[in-house]
């Protein structure tokens, strides 16, 4: 019995071999076109019908010869993104995880929809497995147990994907409401801030909202938070620092 038989659906890399390419279609072309289509959509959501149209294919059914269903396509798309994330090697665990964070955030900015797929599809494709293997290798010198070692990696990826999901949702909101700039958004909420201030029930919030320098300097960046996370993980590798913190 195969994984596909026992689970009702296998993973495309293991149980769904790619058929020969046709004149206009191949699995690689379908995936790359799907990624470009998702990049163009503010919400990142695509349909097989829209993908078929972008590929110039008359019926979406033609795509199912190459990808069994939408989940399989999602698996291929997110694994392509995992494959673009790079980790510096041979420079210590902190440099490796810092690189994972910076490269991952760059990937999320190129493909914000990938954050949603990262939370909904298992990271078992070749790109994801290669990424995790590289990160785990760089953590080997710390002699951590298996759970803690993966916990370090997931701490950084949680920041990457959480930030990516926030970016995706903001992009979706701005497209839906036509508040394309911060100035547009500030004008839209100004009457509500005025009503909150007039009610007088939340004086500290109203004082903050009325401060013209409330965003100066800008709020913490992805990179700032990444360094804070790495500082926290550093304490777990240094018993004396851990005892001082506790």
Query: What per-residue confidence (pLDDT) applies to 233?
Result: 94
User: Domains plus CATH for the chain?
Assistant: 7-80 (1.10.10.60), 89-239 (1.10.357.10)
Q: Cβ neighbours of residue 88 under 8 Å, at least 6 residues apart?
A: 95, 96, 98, 99
- The angle, 0 to 180 degrees and rounded to 10, between the axes of the packed helices 113-120 and 146-177 is 140
DSSP assigned state of 181:
S
Please tell me the pTM assigned to this model.
0.85
Judge whether 72 and 128 are in contact, CB under 8 Å: no
Q: What region, left, alpha or beta, does residue 200 occupy, with left being phi > 0 and alpha being psi -120 to 50 degrees?
A: left
- Give the integer Cα–Cα distance in Å for 83 and 87: 11
Q: Is-cis flag, bond preceding 78, omega within 30?
A: no
pLDDT at 23: 66
Cβ–Cβ under 8 Å, residues 201 and 207: no
Q: What values do phi and psi take at 177, rounded to 5?
A: -100, -5
Dist. CA 76–CA 203, nearest whole Å: 50
d(CA 109, CA 69): 26
Element (H, E) at 41: none
The answer to whether the beta carbons of residues 56 and 30 sit under 8 Å apart is no
Q: If you ran DSSP here, which 8-state letter would residue 65 be given?
A: G
pLDDT along the chain (246 residues), means of 10: 44 81 84 97 95 93 92 96 97 97 98 97 95 97 94 97 96 86 85 92 92 82 95 81 41
Query: Any idea of the CA torsion for 68, 73, 78, 82, to the nearest 10 degrees?
Result: 60
Tokens (6 digits) for 137: 């290798």
Q: How far is CA 45 from CA 168, 172, 184, 234, in A?
A: 11, 10, 25, 38
| Separation CA 13–CA 242 (nearest Å) | 43
Q: How far apart are CA 155 and CA 147, in angstroms?
A: 12
């Amino acid at each position: 019995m195969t994984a596909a038989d026992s689970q009702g659906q296998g993973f495309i890399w293991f149980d769904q071999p790619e058929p020969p390419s046709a004149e206009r279609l191949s699995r690689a072309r379908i995936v790359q076109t799907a990624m470009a289509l998702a990049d163009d959509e503010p919400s990142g959501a695509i349909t097989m019908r829209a993908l078929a149209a972008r590929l110039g294919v008359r019926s979406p059914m033609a795509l199912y010869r190459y990808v069994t269903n939408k989940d399989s396509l999602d698996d291929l798309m997110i694994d392509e993104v995992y494959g673009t994330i790079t980790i510096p090697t041979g420079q210590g665990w902190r440099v490796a995880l810092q690189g994972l964070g910076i490269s991952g955030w760059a990937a999320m900015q190129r493909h914000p929809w990938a954050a949603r797929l990262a939370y909904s599809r298992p990271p078992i494709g070749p790109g994801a497995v290669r990424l995790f293997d590289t990160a785990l290798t760089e953590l080997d010198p710390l002699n951590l147990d298996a759970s803690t070692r993966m916990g370090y990696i997931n701490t950084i990826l949680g920041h990457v994907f959480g930030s990516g999901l926030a970016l995706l949702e903001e992009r979706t909101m701005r497209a839906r409401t036509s508040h394309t700039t911060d100035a547009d958004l500030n004008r839209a909420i100004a009457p509500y801030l005025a009503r909150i201030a007039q009610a007088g029930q939340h004086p500290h919030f109203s004082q903050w909202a009325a401060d013209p320098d409330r965003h100066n300097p800008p709020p913490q960046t992805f990179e700032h938070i990444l360094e804070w996370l790495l500082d926290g993980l550093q304490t777990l590798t240094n018993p004396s620092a851990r005892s001082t913190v506790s």
